[in-house]
Amino acid sequence: MRCSSLLPVLLLSMLLTGCDDGKGDDTGDTTPDTTDASDDTDGADDDTDDGADDTDDDTDDDTDDDTDGTDDTGPTDTDTGGPPASFTTPQVSGVTARVNDTIGSVVHVIWDQLEPGSVWVEFSFEDGIWQRSPAVDTAAGPQEHLLLGVPFDTAVTYRVVNDFSATAQSDGPLLDVEAAITTDILSTRAPYPLSVSGDADGWDPDTDYVFLTMQDSDSGALCWAFIIDREGRIVWAWEMDRFTISMHAQPSYDGDHMLIDINTYWSGLFDAESSSVIRMTLDGEILETVPTPGLHHPFTELDDGSIAWAAIDRYNEKLMVSDPSGTISELWDCAEFVDAIGASEYCGSNTLRWDPRDDTFLYSFYSMETMVQIDASTGETLRYFGHATGAWGFAGLDQAFWWQHGGYFTEAGTLLLSSKDRNNGDETVVNEYSLDEETETLSLIWSFGRDEGIYGDTMGEAHRLAGGNTLHNYGSAGHLREITPGGEVVWEVDWAGDFMGRSTPLADLYALAP
């Protein structure tokens, strides 16, 4: 007999004592079981309806096979159709942190996750400003997240965050208790900027950091690969071995690690046979070392992971490529190019860029003050710009580039580079050119740096930022500037003469982490 058909006096009794409707003893369930008699197929229940004395002898321990179509891995048993559990605190234990052994600004936060969910770590080293690691949907088990972008010798507060909204009920993200750790002290030999200035309102919003290399102008033998934030604080740094330098460090083509050239030529040994390129993640792990014999200046990566570089051969250079298997082949010979155009210059380069839009290399030679475009598949010389015999010329000699460095084709199809202001000039400027295919002429459409009084006699490059500003690297002048299209300097960092290699604007450090 069902409770609904009992006499009124029994209804009063049920209000006082509750109604036994055949529910089992599943202590994890949070709602009445309305299907136990008809849907429970585990065969362990002996439920019998014997009138008003209906009792349930369910003795199973939730080891049954679910029949409700859900995976019984959540915080509660779902075979009865009940709602998931409600969490009010993060489901974590054993939260600890440590500083990375190799990179003293990188912090590892480690804990055990007790329930599946979305997890991340929030952290702060400035009052009222919180950053976070990327959220990860994870199962229960050990977790490890990195805190990136923290300056050296800085106290950082952190807290683990859980979000169970996809698998359980919770009132938004749940924050664990806060804890703190201090990053390591950085060597006094590190390339600390002497001054940083600018107008934050004018900064490119997609550039939060800059990755670059620098050689100590005093010692001549110490070189660092490092990352600075907009305040000029060093937030990542790796000191290279003595008598090796990096001049063209850059993010990998796919953007998930860094490529750092180990140059043994310009470090003072003048022996390029031992040069190489390493693949490194931001936690200091070296993923691979790619031998690049002869590398004395630029290199670049292709979309398949091949590394191309300029290999010195006395007064000649050859464009070499190492494919993903490590097979090295010669693609292009500069001496043959020089002979073909009837010139007599030697071959010395400073920039090599691969362009995925047309599968070509742009290869810049300071020795000829000329940039050569080469088919990356065939090694054919397609065209060349500058001062060599037969090159594309300029709309006027006053528009010419001289001692050019760091050139590349922008998304708009213009040629952007760093240059002397004039032949034998004493200022470093950034020039941008449009290309006239019919007349094979370069026309200067934008320039900045004249009458600014900054000169770097070697290296240098320019980057067009996503918002339209330009980041100008002054090379050996040890100067970095961000300039608006209207010619306003909105960010300036000065190292006062330390030798600066290639620089790359970065939006997100976590892309370079393992």
> 266 falls in which pLDDT band (50, 70, 90)?
confident
Instruction: Record the pTM.
Output: 0.82
pLDDT at 36 over 60: no
Under 8 Å between Cβ of 347 and 341: no
pLDDT at 417 over 60: yes
Q: What is the mean pLDDT of residues 67-89?
A: 53
**What 8-state DSSP symbol labels residue 476?**
G
Region(s) of the chain under CATH 2.130.10.10: 209-512
Under 8 Å between Cβ of 408 and 401: no
Q: What span, in angstroms and rounded, lies between the C-alpha atoms of 393 and 407? A: 16
The whole-angstrom distance between residue 102's C-alpha and the CA centroid of its chain comes to 18
pLDDT of residue 166: 78
pLDDT at 20 over 70: no
Taking alpha carbons only, the member of 416, 417, 420, 504 closest to residue 458 is 420
Among 160-169, 322-331, 345-354, 422-431, name the one with the lowest average pLDDT: 160-169
Q: What is the mean pLDDT of residues 356-367?
A: 97
pLDDT at 72 over 90: no
> Residue 112 to residues 94, 170, 410, 488: CA-CA distances in angstroms?
6, 19, 47, 51
CA atoms within 13 A on the CB side of 34: 3
pLDDT at 30 over 50: no
> 448 falls in which pLDDT band (50, 70, 90)?
very high
Under 8 Å between Cβ of 386 and 399: no
Among 9-13, 437-441, 446-450, name the one with the lowest average pLDDT: 9-13
Buried/exposed code over 106-132 (b: 16+ C-beta within 10 A; e: otherwise): bbbbebebbbbbbbbbbbbbeeeeebb
Contacts of residue 65, defined as CB under 8 A and 6 or more positions apart, other chains included, come to 41, 42
> 14 falls in which pLDDT band (50, 70, 90)?
very low
Classified as helix, coil or strand, 323 is coil
Cα dihedral 274, 279, 280, 286, rounded to 10, equals -60
Among 11-20, 276-285, 396-405, name the one with the lowest average pLDDT: 11-20
Helix (H) / strand (E) element for 125: namely strand 117-126
pLDDT at 55 over 90: no
Beta pairing class for 92-99 and 107-113: antiparallel
pLDDT at 375 over 50: yes
Region(s) of the chain under CATH 2.60.40.10: 87-182
The pLDDT mean for the chain works out to 86
pLDDT at 348 over 60: yes
pLDDT of residue 62: 42
Instruction: Enumerate the H helices of 295-379 as residue ranges.
Output: 334-340
Tokens at residue 276, please? 């190489």
Q: Can you give the C-alpha Rg of the chain in angstroms?
A: 33
Supply angle C-alpha 426, 427, 429, rounded to 5. 150
**What 8-state DSSP symbol labels residue 19?**
-
Q: What span, in angstroms and rounded, lies between the C-alpha atoms of 351 and 379? A: 17
Q: What span, in angstroms and rounded, lies between the C-alpha atoms of 258 and 287? A: 10
pLDDT at 113 over 70: yes
pLDDT of residue 205: 96
Which CATH superfamily, name and number, covers 87-182?
Immunoglobulins (2.60.40.10)
> Residue 160 to residues 21, 62, 123, 409, 486: CA-CA distances in angstroms?
43, 31, 9, 44, 44
**What 8-state DSSP symbol labels residue 402?**
-
Under 8 Å between Cβ of 405 and 364: yes
Helix (H) / strand (E) element for 286: namely strand 286-291
User: 2.130.10.10, 1.20.1260.10, 3.10.150.10, 2.30.30.140: which CATH number matches 209-512?
Assistant: 2.130.10.10
Q: What span, in angstroms and rounded, lies between the C-alpha atoms of 177 and 225? A: 35
What is the share, in percent, of the chain residues with pLDDT greater than 90?
74
Taking alpha carbons only, the member of 450, 500, 465, 448 closest to residue 479 is 500
Q: What is the pLDDT of residues 116-138, one digit of tens each?
A: 999 999 999 999 999 999 999 99
Classified as helix, coil or strand, 441 is strand
